[in-house]
Each structure stands twice: as structure tokens, then as C-alpha cells.
Amino acid sequence: MKKSVKLVGLDCPNCARSLENEISKLNSVKNVHIDFVKNRLYFESDDTMAALDEIIKLTKRLEPQAQISEINSAERKNKLNLILDITFLAVGIAIGFVIFFVSMPKWCYWTLYVLSALLLGYKTYLKAIRLLFKGIINENLLITISVVGASIISQHMEGLMVIALYSIGKIFEGLAVNRSRKSIEKLASLQPEYANLILNNGEVEKVQPSSVKIGDMILVKAGEKVPLDGKVVEGETFLDLKSLTGESLPVKAKEGDEILSGSVVVDGVITIEVTSVYENSAVSKIMNLVENAAENKSKTETFVSKITKWYTLAIIVLALSVWGIVWAVTKDLNSAFYRGLIFLVVSCPCAFAISVPLSYFSGLGNASKNGVLIKGSNFLDACAGLKTIAFDKTGTLTTGQFEIDKITSFGDKKEDELLFVAALGEQYSLHPLAQAITKSCIVKLPKLKSVKEIAGEGVEFVYKKKNYFVGRKNDNLTATCVEIYENDEKIGEISLSDKIKPSAKDTCKGLNDLGVKTVLLSGDNTEIAQDVAKQVGINEALGKLLPQDKYEYLKKCKDEKIKIGYVGDGINDAPALTLADVGISMGINGAPASIEASDVVLVDDDPQKIISLIKISKFTKLNVIENISLAAIIKLTFLSLGAAGVTGMLAAVFADVGVTLLAILNSMRVLKYKPNKKQNIKNKK
């Protein structure tokens, strides 16, 4: 049975991965996964309670500060832990000042010194010892060795400075991680708790959203979340879409408008006819995506997490080598030992271990705030390198809702008569063109006794003893057009057009400004595809493409090492979405198959969100490079200076904790980054 529990108190991605590995070794569990972003632990077990008991015991032993419990209780414990950490830190620092600036007996000095060191870093020391017994070596052991070593060679102030600044860094690290988490966890607030179902007798009953069926009527009051996708049948209101799409201003919704679950009714009361069951609603799709987002990590993030263990072990070996070399050269044991400790402190991998995943967490969180859901940091990383983005047309750059542009008569029938005849035959079809024609006819349509559908062409029927055909016989027409024949004679045409989304033109211009080539891959004829491309500013347009043709185009680009993204919304787009370096689907009208196959989902179907996606991905990748470069350059500099005896322990502490804090603060810039502002971040040619 699959189970998930709240896990709080883990502010280090490496600690989470180590704990996940240890829990996976338990015989009572399988498929263990710790979602560091959402503070959740997932596992499967035949005996859930017994397995959970083992997990709790193991977690307490390895990560005492971590808590597994119900959500509210866990959050309270997490806040209490933070208060205790800050209190112990403040008291430890205060005691440190006293012993260094107040004269006292030696026994009192040592007592207070040990007390100060314990208050400042008891968690670090205990964690280092516990993990060492498990065969795990990480930065906790490096810091512990440094503090003990500094005490042995009477560098007491520097020893306390190491652990004090390290602990301050861990507190800041935890606050930064939690801030990034909250931006993603806000999506959980979209999940509705209930639906006000209108019963047949007119009464209203609170029910679970999952129990509501298509066609049911629900009532949503001011301040309540819309629990399911639907159409407004009574009332009007303004909807708050900030959490759903990132739209800052309320959007008006009136009778006939379709609205999404997760929207919040600002004022008034509306009645909604449900058009989608909960499993297929916008909120459910979003929650499923968020559930899986943390599992797909970027190559950079994966590489950093994999090398951390071996990196720490290598640093200990190198520190011993530095100690040995300096001792051999200077014959001064204390000096050699001191320089070896400096090497340990400077080399602590904290800056790499936290700043890289934190940058990606912040990027994912920023994207979610802007209505873009990314299924993992690897896809966020991939977006930064896209050179070309290919678009499907219908439902992606266009609304997918056709409208009649012109009705042309070739005989004595008037326009309304031609529309009536066309609607007679099209009333039985689900094709978008047929539905547009039927919807435009305001006259009540009689039912026909015999209607014959001709695959790929149209329909034949008899009305008032005359034979009619409505469909397409002429492939040379340059517009989206439906022909009408009476007794094999063409009597009229109805030209329709698919409305281009208002933001499509700005989307293509924005992508071109970022150095990204745009391509239209359409199943419509080439003339229509080129006309749409011209209107929205797409660089290249190809028409008359079957799904396999789109697939082959993408395959050709990939064979030529061109990083390409594909944007689509239909079932037929699934193969292309899967093959593309980054598949981007529509979150509202997108088919479940396309959403499943894609790597990125635009919550509100607005293609302009792709510009935000590209900008955030580029800024995030740049931020990761900055953090790695900053940490590497400073650490290498101070490693050389420390080994040569030019700098001391305090400089080493800055090179470790100071750089970690700088990297954390730099990572938080990703969360604050505003992609809608004008930026000059282009693909490198």
C-alpha cells in the first residue's frame, strides 16, 4: 500500500538523499522517495504501520531534528526547532564572548568553552558521529574535526568561530530552502476541500469534489475556491487567478464563460455546470505534476549530489597530505596540523551542496508563480539551451474555436438559407468546423432520417426531396472552407477561421528577441499555415503534416544537434512532445495524453508563458554557474593561501561559511526574478 507522510526539519538535500538511501534498505518498505521540495516522504509497504514505526526510529537516529508526523504538528515542531537553534546559537556566542574577554580560573574557562562549543554545534557533532557509524562521510565530519583540532592546538576562538558561523549558515540555509518550498507549496492551496452540490430539490449539500459528475450543478460563494472545471450558468463574479496562472488582476466571469477549478470567487455567487470530473480538472492535473516535479533532477544537480560523499573523503585525504607535507618541510607539528585544519574548513562542500539545488528549487517555484509547471529541474535546465521552438497551430497558437467569416452563394439561395442547409447536416458531427456552423444557426434544426457520413469529406443527406452534400470536395481551396452541394451542384461556400490567440504574436516576437527560432508545424494546408505564421511572426511554416511528419521533423533537428522544443495540445501531439528536448503542453484544453507526454505545462494555455519559461530557465542556469564559479574560485584561492600559511582559520571560515551564505543569497535572486521585465538574456550564438 502506498503511503505519504509529512517530513520536516531537513534543510539539506544531501541529508535527504542519505536518509532516503538508508530507509530504502529496510526490509519492510519499497519504492521510497523523499520529496525535499514538498517535505514529503513516500513509500510502499504491506504493513504500513509497522514500516512507519521503523522509518521513524531510523530517522530519529540519523536525523534527530527531522520530524515525521501530521502536517500541523510537524510544522509546529519545525518552528520550535528553529527557535531552539537560534536560542542555543545566541547563548553559545554570548558565552564565547565572556570567556575570551573576562579573566577567570582555568577550570571555569574550559567548562564554559566546552559548553559554548556544544551549544553552537551539538547537532553537527551528533550527526557526524551517527553518519560515520553508517559509513557516511559528509561536511558534518569536516566541521567536527576542525573544531576538535582547533581546540587541541589551542586555537579556541577560531574553533568557536568555525562552528558558530557554520551554524548561522545552516539556519540561513533552512530559511532559504523553506522560502523556495513555500512558492511551490502554495499550489497545494488550490486543492478544493469541498463542492456545494445543488440537489434535484434545490437544496445545497457539501460533498467531496471527486463525487461530483459531469452535468451536475454546483454553487460557489464569495471567497470559495471553484472545485471543478465548468461553465457559469447563473450569476457573475470576478475571479482571483493569482495562484493558478500568476494573473495579478481579477478576471470577470459571466454566464456562458468557462472557468477553471482552483480559481477563487472574489464577490457574488455563481452557479456552475460541471464539465469535467475532478480527476481531469485543472487542479488535479496541476497537483499530479507537482507531485512528480522533484523526481527529475538536472545533470548539474545530480552530479553535485553524487560527488559530495567522495569529495568529502578526498578532502580528508588531501588535508592529511597537506599536514604531512608541511610537517616534513617545517618540522613544526602544530603549524602542520593547523594548516591541515584550514584545508578541511575551506574545502567543506556546503556552498555546492545547497546552492545548486536551491537555485533549481527557486527556479521551479518562480515558474509555478508565473503559471508554468515544470516536471523537474532537468527540464528547467534544458529550456535554457533551446534554439528552436516548434508550434502546433490549432489550440496552441489559435483558440481552436472557429467562427464564420463569410458565406458565399453561387445560386439563388440567401446566406441564412445556406447556413441552415449546412447546419442540417453538420448537427450530428463533433468536428470543430461542424460545431461552429451549427452554433451559428439560430433556427431550430429538424431531425433528419438519413444522414450518411463520408470519411474525410463530409455528410450526405436528403431534405425536402433534395440531395445535399456538406463538406469538402475541392482540395485547392485556400481557406478553411465548407462547401454546400444541392443535387450535385455547388450552391455555396462557408469560409471559417480559427481565431488566433491574442498573445500569439507577442509570443513569437519575444522568442525571436531571445534568439529562439520559431516554426509552425500544422496539419492544415500549407497556405493556411503560412498565413497564420505571417500574422504571428513565425520564422518558418510547414503544412499538410501528419503526426508522423511532425515527429520526423523533430527527429531531423535532433540528428543535427539542434535543441528543439515542441508546443502542442492534442492527442496527436503526444509523439512530438515526447521526442522534443522539451515538450510543452496546454494545461486547460490540453488532452491528458499530451499533458502526460510533455515536460512543461502552461496552466492557462497562454503561449506567452513560454517567454517567462525561457527567461527563468536562462536566469536559473546562469545563477547555478555563478554559484559554482564563486565557490570554486574563492575556495581554491584560500586553499592555496592556507596551505602556504598566508591565511589563518578565520579566513578559512569566510571561505566556507561566507561563500555558502553568499551562494544562498544569490540563489534567492532566482525566486525574486521577474521574467516579465525587459531582460537582455539571449541564446549564445
The strand ranges marked E within 529-599 are: 540-542, 564-568, 582-586
Please give the Cα distance from 260 to 264 (Å, whole number).
Answer: 10
202 in the Ramachandran plot: left (φ > 0), alpha (ψ -120 to 50) or beta?
Answer: left
Among the options 35, 392, 524, 605, which is catalytic? 392
Please give the Cα distance from 149 to 138 (Å, whole number).
Answer: 17
Please give the Cα distance from 112 to 106 (Å, whole number).
Answer: 10
35 is annotated as an active-site residue? no
Determine the Cα angle at 553 with ends 376 and 296, to 5°.
10
8 Å CB contact between 282 and 229: yes
Interacting residues of 600 by C-beta distance below 8 A, sequence separation 6+: 372, 373, 374, 375, 379, 383, 582, 583, 584, 585, 613
Question: Could you give the 3-state DSSP secondary structure of residue 645?
Answer: coil
Strands 270-274 and 230-234: antiparallel
Please give the Cα distance from 64 to 77 (Å, whole number).
Answer: 12
- Ordered DSSP codes for 595-608: HHH-SEEETT--TT
What is the total residue count of the chain? 685
CA distances from 399 to 174, 245, 427 (A): 44, 17, 21
- Write the single-letter amino acid at 593: A
Question: Could you give the 3-state DSSP secondary structure of residue 428?
Answer: coil
Question: Could you give the 3-state DSSP secondary structure of residue 560?
Answer: coil
Interacting residues of 307 by C-beta distance below 8 A, sequence separation 6+: none
Positions annotated as catalytic residues are 392
